[in-house]
Structure 1
Amino acid sequence: MLYNFFANSPNARRKTEARAVSGLIDEQFVLLLTLFEDLSRVTKFMSDQLQYPSLELSSAMDLADSVIATLTDRRTEESWREIRDRASDLCTKANVNHNETPERRQAQPPRHLQEFVVEAQIERTPVTSLDALHTECFYPEIDRLVVEMRRRFSTEAGGVLSGVSALSPKHASFVDNKCLQPMAKFYGVTEENLTPELHQRVIDIFASNHNNRRIVLL
């Protein structure tokens, strides 16, 4: 345990802090830690890839689809059992008692409601069993991640990302009307207005490359 590690430390403050933290660590804490580490590992690869300057924006949709598929595949009884087993092994290695549950401070109602009769529930019911985490945490957290991923990387967002890529001269889809149409539709730009804008975009790029606008116009 953490306290045992600092038991012989001459620093009294660190010993006190270690004792306090150790009192909060139980099997449920380790299980939640293992669960979120498992889910975060799935999304971290995409997070790292999105920060690369050389990443094509249109590829972000492929990454998002891959992450969503992986998270969806995680939503199984087998995945839950694997997480339970890893958490149990970690408890054994860290000398965390599998059956011991630390005492929790009894929650007090908000001070501004103490003089009122409140019939509605004002606080969440704590999850007290590992089996309850299966339905109260494991499935809901995966569902929230998938919903948020689909919201941020929707079909409309994919169209905008493809359109932005098509505005880059270095991209293979440069000024490709098919790639630009979804973005134009999203921002309410008609095809009649889009065509001259693209023409002007090409002129500006060639002019900047030749440092002479008259060359393009001629």
Structure 2
Amino acid sequence: MTSPIRRLSLDEVLDEFFFSADKPSPDMVLRACEAHPEYREDILEFAALWSAYEASPEVPAADTVEVSEESVSRLQSYVLNQLHELDSGTSTSSQAEAARKAIESLAGKRLKQAAAAAGLGTSTLLLTKVLTKSIVDVPIKVLNDLAAHLDVALGGLQTCLGPELAGAKSYRSKAAPNASSRETWKAAVQSLSLSNEEKQRLLALQQVREGDS
């Protein structure tokens, strides 16, 4: 039976951090915070104290080294900004991957249901053009409704749309458009074999702004 990996204590993490280099660097602090997110504040404080000590002249052992607030703030700001960028990047990547998987599951009945949920009626061809980014000005309402139907983030959906979806293994449409050709929403709607009333309804979707009902 495999023993579970023991979680390091704060003292062990700080010891490991201290003995990893002669003096702390922003990148070193960042790596430590990424490896042990539960101790981020403690690592930042320890690194600031260490940096202040390294920068100060030798003093009697009984004296206390005062930490520059500006130094602490600068170090914390750098590391926290880097961590925020990493967290944001991971979040965006995860959202795009979730959206891609949802899209690649569309086939047959599911594709028709997605088209209807996005307000496109029975036109899977129009949905296909949206998914492969063949239309340059897709109404935001269509994208919002599609994201809601697929239960994915709008940002993730927008990130993964593109011509490459036309070749996805699971995603299928009987009438996939030419991925290299791009057209306006109006042109795409007008090219469909639909009634004038339905075309007008689809064209009107472009007038609905984000946040409108």
| TM-score exceeds 0.5 | no
Q: TM-score, with normalisation over the residues of structure 1?
A: 0.29
Q: Which has the higher helix share?
A: 1
Q: TM-score, with normalisation over the residues of structure 2?
A: 0.29
